[in-house]
Chains A and B, each alone.
Chain A
Amino acid sequence: MRGDMVLRVIVKLLIPFILLFALYVQFHGDFGPGGGFQAGTIFAAALALYTMIFGLENMRRIVPDRLVEAMIAAGVLLFLGVGIAGLLLGGNFLDYFVLDRDPVAGQHRGIFWVELGVAITVFGVMLKLFCLFAARNLGQE
């Protein structure tokens, strides 16, 4: 499949749009449908598509295994961090009102970081699962 010119060109054209759509879903989640979970999945799907056409080695060069594994944990930690930030600023755990002087802006800030945490973890897990299957199919690991 790697020699197929049509696939390579089409995928190269498509991937930027998929990534852009993932970012749109992530940051427009406040206004339209979407959010961290969906965005993380779409982002991982874009990289999975890249892997299918250009191979696992090239994908690993873009996103190293260690980074993906770190992201799995980093997302949860970011979420927890937002919760603890609320505690430190004098509110309850996961209380966003205290994150800014203006409570509504605080909510915005809290939700933004929380959604980012969800997206990072979901992206990491989805991509890692795909990589594990792909590596095993190739007989690596």
Chain B
Amino acid sequence: MGEKRSRSFYVLAAFFAAYVLFLYGPMIAIYILSFQGPDGGLTFPMNGVSLVWFGKVFSGSGIVDIGAAFKRSLELGLVVMVLTVVLSVSAGMAFRKSFRGATFLFYVAIASLIMPSIITSLGIALEFRLLDDFIIKSGAENWTTAMGLFTSGLGAHLTWTLPFGLLIMFAIFNRFDGRLEEAARDLGATPWQTFRHVVLPIILPSVVGIGLFGFTLSWDELARSSQAIGSVNTLPLELQGLTTTVTKPDIYALGTLTSGVSFLVIFAALVVILVLQARQRRHGSDAGKGMV
């Protein structure tokens, strides 16, 4: 690597810029279009600027009950986030020592990650259908279904978020200095104290990252939810349904809102991570460099 930037640097930088434009360009286009005037259509040019379409989304006219779907998605996302964080961190800790079935669990997690979503989704749907049949047969007359947002839907989302959480935990603990824990133990800390005062503060920024993954992946999850969510829909499912029927910019407004939530969460998480890292640096530790 010479001191001067080579020509290939500029070529690659241009390529990278083009890629970023490719990533963001279309999204920015719909954010702009969602402020389309009342007479505007689905494409450019803009016919004035207004918030009409946002109003339409909130008043719910023309669109199925978006507010409810919005709330459902939010609740599910939060539950998934908490569960992902708790389970990933404990599994991550467990994986540091070998235990029976560790390799098996690891491969199952990877398989769950790369399994085509539709198959997982179909499987969960079948599982709950059979369960329902079984319950009805065994005498429960009024039983409708065990399928729902917080049973099958939650499970479907967890098969998607947990592998991510686990992989992040692996990445953290591969760079984690085990001597810190030994030192704590030598000083007489209980295992819980060691975890609470030594391990947790060090891994906290990454744990926030896991939470971020947990929430956003659930918030936007579509393919796995499609068959497994039961009778109600989450926001992405409603959105997908709308793509084929809606001809007005309110779908863009909805898209802008949904992304708004995503960006808010991402931004909040990043700020928290930065603050935590700054605090670690201030306290003179270099252990927090193990950011993913």
- The answer to whether A and B come from one shared complex is no
Residues of B within 8 A of A (CB): none
Residues of A within 8 A of B (CB): none
